[in-house]
Amino acid sequence: MTNDDLTKIVDTSDEWIVQRTGIRQRHIAAEGEVTSDLALIAARRALENAGMEASDIDLIVVGTTTPDRTFPATAAILQQKLGITHGSAFDVQAVCSGFVFGVATADSYLKTGMAKRALIIGAEVFSRILDWTDRATCVLFGDGAGAMILEAREVPDDAPEEGVLVSSLRTDGSHWEKLYVDGGVAATGSIGHVRMEGREVFKHAVGMISDVVEDVLQKTGKTTGDLDWFVPHQANKRIIDGAGRKLGIPETKTVVTVDRHANTSAASVPLALWVASEEGRIKKGDLVMIEAMGGGFTWGASLIRW
Ligand code: COA
């Protein structure tokens, strides 16, 4: 769905959307297509890239805010679609930070021996919770899914660093009314629609993102100069630029896909990782910083040796 397509639905323009957000188009799931359908496509591609079968996976973590159903977890439905019954599968609800929270959670499972091979997915059909009469929100979001596989390996102490090095996660619930859905199981018995104080979100985003990125760098003794790639949450080009400027990360090292996907919430970081690795930009051995910020507010970052 292009910005011009949106002008037929709400009073907006391609110029306004591009100038304020950098978004040019977004993808919308087909009628009847659910989150686990998108997650399944991403999961199969990740398994193929890793040379693995679904039976190799013993942990599935799905970051989503738009689950197929109130329960069971979308991860459980995905597990069935993948044709496996072993291991564990659950969803992580941290809105746009869902994938980063999922990576940190799965990494902890692997490092403590709770699982061997984890499939982490960010998948959303955000179009289903948008108020398509509210131009301030409906132009910003899109649907999508992306997946990553992490495997635990025994390595000698002096082995070169590999995989997820450190993650930093934060939540400050005092901000939840700035970005939320006005429905829910217990509150209204309905699904509801996204409500947002855009300026307030914008105001906090750059500082929160920089906070966790700097925390992760400090814990690993690295600097922004050591990074090969910065893969931020794709909400808004101006937020990405602001964070890059504050952190001193050049645009040439920053992956931007918000123009083609819009904000796909938990799917945005894995989609950006996929685009950059498919295009041959992110390569084995690269140092990659991922970060996200979203409703809650939640925010987090992970440093990964690819
Ligand atoms: N098309 C055209 N005009 C629009 C519009 C649209 N889609 N949406 C809002 N406007 C109008 C407003 O009505 C307002 O008009 P007015 O001045 O006549 O009242 C004007 O544009 C400015 O609105 P405002 O909300 O102040 O714009 P802004 O510069 O703050 O930009 C956002 C709005 C949403 C792009 C910006 O606040 C933002 O990106 N916030 C962060 C949102 C985000 O990323 N959320 C997800 C985080 S995970």
Residue 6 C-alpha to ligand 1 middle, in angstroms? 15
SS (H, E, C) 30-59: CCCCCHHHHHHHHHHHHHHHHCCCHHHCCE
**CA-wise closest residue to 163 among 9, 50, 276, 279:** 50
Q: Does the CA dihedral 149-150-154-159 come out positive or negative?
A: positive
Q: Candidates 3.20.20.30, 3.40.47.10, 3.30.365.10, 3.40.50.2000; correct CATH number of 3-151?
A: 3.40.47.10
Report domain extents, the chain: 3-151, 163-305
Atom of ligand 1 nearest to the CA of 294: 48
Based on the residue annotation, tell me whether 233 is a catalytic residue of this protein.
yes
Based on the residue annotation, tell me whether 263 is a catalytic residue of this protein.
yes
The residue whose CA has the least distance to atom 38 of ligand 1 is 198
| Ligand 1 pocket test, candidate residues 5, 199, 298, most atoms within 8 A of CB | 199
CB-based burial label for 240 (10 Å; 0-12, 13-18, 19+): buried
Residue 274 C-alpha to ligand 1 middle, in angstroms? 29
Q: Does the beta carbon of 20 sit less than 6 angstroms from any atom of ligand 1? A: yes
Structure tokens given for 84: 């496996």
Each residue's pLDDT tens digit in the chain (306 positions)? 999 999 999 999 999 999 999 999 999 999 999 999 999 999 999 999 999 999 999 999 999 999 999 999 999 999 999 999 999 999 999 999 999 999 999 999 999 999 999 999 999 999 999 999 999 999 999 999 999 999 999 999 999 999 999 999 999 999 999 999 999 999 999 999 999 999 999 999 999 999 999 999 999 999 999 999 999 999 999 999 999 999 999 999 999 999 999 999 999 999 999 999 999 999 999 999 999 999 999 999 999 999
What is the pTM (predicted TM-score) of this model?
0.97
Based on the residue annotation, tell me whether 138 is a catalytic residue of this protein.
no
Spatial distance between the Cα atoms of 168 and 84, rounded to a whole number of angstroms: 31
The residue whose CA has the least distance to atom 35 of ligand 1 is 20
The residue whose CA has the least distance to atom 28 of ligand 1 is 199
Question: Is there a contact between 266 and 122 (Cβ–Cβ < 8 Å)?
Answer: yes
> Topology of domain 163-305, per CATH?
Peroxisomal Thiolase; Chain A, domain 1 (3.40.47)
Residue 47 C-alpha to ligand 1 middle, in angstroms? 39
Spatial distance between the Cα atoms of 244 and 241, rounded to a whole number of angstroms: 5
Beta-carbon neighbour count of residue 236 at 10 Å?
21
Residue 206 C-alpha to ligand 1 middle, in angstroms? 17
Q: Does the beta carbon of 12 sit less than 6 angstroms from any atom of ligand 1? A: yes
Q: Does the CA dihedral 231-75-167-55 come out positive or negative?
A: negative
